[in-house]
Chain A
Amino acid sequence: MTDASADFADLRDLYQEVILDHGRHPRNFRRLAPPARHARGDNPMCGDRVEVWVRLDEQDRIADAAFEGRGCAISVASASLMTETVRGKSAAEARALADAFRSLVRTGRCPVCGAVHAEDLERLRPLSGVAEYPSRVKCATLAWHALEAALAGEASATTE
Chain B
Amino acid sequence: MSRAATAARAPGFDVLAIRREFPILDESVRGKPLIYLDSAASAQKPRAVIEAMVHAMEHQYANVHRGLHWMSERTTEAFESARDAVARFLNAPSRDEIVFTKNATEAINLVAHAYGRGVMDPAKAVLISAMEHHANIVPWQLLRDARGVELRVCPITAEGELDWEAFERLLADGRVGLVAITHMSNVLGTVTPAERIARAAHDAGALVLFDGSQAAVHRRVDVQAIGADFYVFTGHKLYGPTGIGVLWARAELLERMPPFLGGGDMIASVSFERAEWARIPHKFEAGTPPILEGIGLAAAIAWVERVGIDAIEAHERALTDHALARLAAIEGVRVFGRAQDRGGVVAFALDRAHAHDVATLLDRQGIAVRAGHHCAEPLMRVLGVDSTARASFAAYTTRAEIDALAEALERVRRFFA
Chain A residues engaging chain B, CB cutoff 8 angstroms? 1-3, 7-8, 10-11, 14-15, 20, 45-48, 70-74, 133, 136, 139
- In chain B, positions 332-360 with a C-beta closer than 8 Å to chain A are 353-357, 360
- Interface window among B125-133, B259-267, B408-416: B408-416
Q: Report B240 CB to chain A, min CB distance, Å.
A: 25
* Interface pair B372/A45, CB less than 8 Å apart: yes
| Cβ of B373 under 8 Å from chain A | yes
* Between-chain CB contacts (< 8 Å), 22 pairs: A3-B415, A8-B415, A10-B30, A11-B365, A14-B364, A15-B357, A20-B415, A46-B372, A46-B386, A46-B387, A47-B380, A48-B386, A70-B386, A71-B354, A71-B356, A72-B354, A72-B355, A72-B357, A73-B353, A73-B354, A73-B357, A136-B360
Tell me which residues across on chain A come within 8 A of B354, comparing CB atoms.
Answer: 71-73
* Interface pair B415/A11, CB less than 8 Å apart: yes
Instruction: Across the interface, name the chain A residue whose C-beta is closest to B365.
Output: A10
**For chains A and B in complex, what number of residue pairs have CB atoms within 8 angstroms?**
52
* Interface pair B361/A3, CB less than 8 Å apart: no
**What 0/1 readout, one digit per residue, does chain B (366-395) give for beta carbons within 8 Å of chain A?**
000000110000001000001100000000
Instruction: Across the interface, name the chain A residue whose C-beta is closest to B373.
Output: A47
* Interface pair B416/A20, CB less than 8 Å apart: yes
Q: What's the Cα separation between A3 and B357 when bound, in Å?
A: 18
How many of chain B's residues have a CB under 8 angstroms from any CB in A? 21
Given contact pairs A46-B356, A72-B354, a sample of 11 additional A-B residue pairs in the complex whose CB atoms are under 8 Å apart:
A1-B417, A8-B415, A11-B364, A11-B412, A15-B361, A46-B372, A47-B380, A73-B353, A73-B354, A74-B357, A136-B356
Instruction: Across the interface, name the chain A residue whose C-beta is closest to B363.
Output: A133
Tell me which residues across on chain B come within 8 A of A45, comparing CB atoms.
Answer: 372
Instruction: Across the interface, name the chain B residue whose C-beta is closest to A10.
Output: B364
Q: What's the Cα separation between A3 and B416 when bound, in Å?
A: 10
* Interface pair A133/B360, CB less than 8 Å apart: yes
Tell me which residues across on chain B come within 8 A of A71, comparing CB atoms.
Answer: 354, 356
* Interface pair B387/A47, CB less than 8 Å apart: yes
Instruction: Across the interface, name the chain B residue whose C-beta is closest to A139.
Output: B356
Q: Report B213 CB to chain A, min CB distance, Å.
A: 21
Tell me which residues across on chain A come within 8 A of B364, comparing CB atoms.
Answer: 10-11, 14
Q: What's the Cα separation between A72 and B389 when bound, in Å?
A: 12
In the complex with contacts A73-B353, A139-B356, A3-B373 CB distance below 8 A: no
- In chain B, positions 169-194 with a C-beta closer than 8 Å to chain A are none
Q: Report B143 CB to chain A, min CB distance, Å.
A: 24
Tell me which residues across on chain A come within 8 A of B387, comparing CB atoms.
Answer: 46-47
Q: Report B222 CB to chain A, min CB distance, Å.
A: 38
Q: What's the Cα separation between A2 and B415 when bound, in Å?
A: 9
Tell me which residues across on chain B come within 8 A of A8, comparing CB atoms.
Answer: 411, 415
Q: What's the Cα separation between A49 and B416 when bound, in Å?
A: 21
* Interface pair A15/B353, CB less than 8 Å apart: no
* Interface pair A47/B386, CB less than 8 Å apart: yes
Instruction: Across the interface, name the chain A residue whose C-beta is closest to B30.
Output: A10
Instruction: Across the interface, name the chain A residue whose C-beta is closest to B414.
Output: A3
Most B CB within 10 A of own CB, among A2, A47, A139: A47
Q: What's the Cα separation between A97 and B417 when bound, in Å?
A: 33
* Interface pair A15/B372, CB less than 8 Å apart: no
Instruction: Across the interface, name the chain A residue whose C-beta is closest to B353.
Output: A73
Q: Report A83 CB to chain B, min CB distance, Å.
A: 19
Instruction: Across the interface, name the chain B residue whose C-beta is closest to A19.
Output: B357
Q: Report B359 CB to chain A, min CB distance, Å.
A: 9
Q: What's the Cα separation between A71 and B357 when bound, in Å?
A: 10
Instruction: Across the interface, name the chain B residue whose C-beta is closest to A45.
Output: B372
Q: What's the Cα separation between A73 and B350 when bound, in Å?
A: 13
In the complex with contacts A20-B416, A71-B354, A73-B354, A14-B365 CB distance below 8 A: no
User: Which 8 A-B residue pairs are closest in the complex by CB-CB distance?
Assistant: A47-B386, A72-B354, A72-B356, A73-B357, A72-B357, A11-B364, A10-B364, A11-B361
